[in-house]
Amino acid sequence: MRPGRARLIAALLTLCAFPMPARAQQPAAVPAVLVHAAEQRSLARHSEFVGRADAPEKVDVRARVRGYLGARLFQDGDPVKNGQTVFTIEKDTFEAASSRKKRSSLRQNRASIPPTCSCGGGSN
């Protein structure tokens, strides 16, 4: 064994043989405690649970026309019946889309009507 290690081991053994003087411990501070007189009364049973609920039925809502949504006519969780209005659409945008659709339909109908023959000659 090297002489440096032997001295280190001897120093450690010497320190372990003589215990350190104990420090004087101060008594712990007494914590402040609130006291309330007990009383007997009836309580309603109450339970709280953590969980997650999913709707039994889900519905996709799709617009039939383009436009900006106006008022929402339902609250989250409210039952909604078939055909019930759930949103309104801004009137100006809806009317513009409706008139474009009518004009387009009118053009298509006119294009599908064969032209009448205006032949010269006799009358009926």
**pTM for the full model?**
0.32
Query: Is 68 in contact with 89 (CB distance < 8 Å)?
Result: yes
Query: Is 118 in contact with 104 (CB distance < 8 Å)?
Result: no
Query: What confidence score (pLDDT) does residue 108 get?
Result: 78
DSSP state of 28: P
DSSP state of 83: T
Residue-wise pLDDT tens for the chain (124 aa)? 567 788 888 887 777 777 666 666 778 888 888 888 989 989 888 889 898 888 787 777 777 777 788 888 988 888 888 888 888 888 887 788 778 888 887 777 777 777 775 655 555 4
**Cα–Cα distance between 36 and 109 in angstroms, integer?**
88
Query: What confidence score (pLDDT) does residue 24 get?
Result: 66
